[in-house]
Amino acid sequence: MNPDRAWIQTLLQRHEEPLVRYTTRLLGGDVQRARDVVQDGFLRLCQAPKERVEGHAEAWLFAVCRNRAIDICRKENRMGPLEQAPGSALASQDEGPGELTARRQAHARLTRLMTTLPPDQARALRLKLAEHKTYREISAEMGTSLGRVSQLITSALETLRTQLAEEPAQPAEVRS
């Protein structure tokens, strides 16, 4: 038997069922589509150079299947509005003036409360929320460990939650 074929056969025996279960959850319980996704994943494995995948084949397969399942879900969501009742797409999705004002006030309040955080917590939280960086990117930028980044962000969020709960929201200003 070809060594690559034996390697793929071993991976198929070990990982097919866990991949099908995982992908079924991602696809909302559709086992048949999950099997198709897993089959596609193994087909891609057969086409990929072995040296590119060897050593992390399980993670590679899970990532390929996850990405394919996400693609399927996105495609369904793009098609979803066609199935809505007539007229439902005409309703405005814009915020009304009240919601917009409340959101702006909450943002201003949160921004003010962030100034009370220790500088390293505020920086880590800003990098995560405002700049959408990953923990790994924050770790590299701040020159600290991933665990420390997690601790900083968790502590900052806990502090903000506590402060928000203790401080009453200010009513909207009335303009005449």
Question: Higher confidence at residue 144 or residue 112?
Answer: 144
Each residue's pLDDT tens digit, 132-152: 889 999 999 999 998 999 999
Tell me whether residue 95 is in a domain.
no
Indicate the pTM of the whole model: 0.45
**What domain range is 69 assigned to?**
3-77
Each residue's pLDDT tens digit, 54-90: 889 999 999 999 999 999 888 887 765 555 545 445 4
Q: What is the dihedral of CA 149, 155, 156, 161, to 10 degrees?
A: 150
Residue type, 119: P
Q: Residue 174: pLDDT above 50?
A: no
Determine contact, residues 32/38, Cβ cutoff 8 Å.
no
69 and 7 in one domain? yes
Domains in the chain, number: 2
106 and 63 in one domain? no
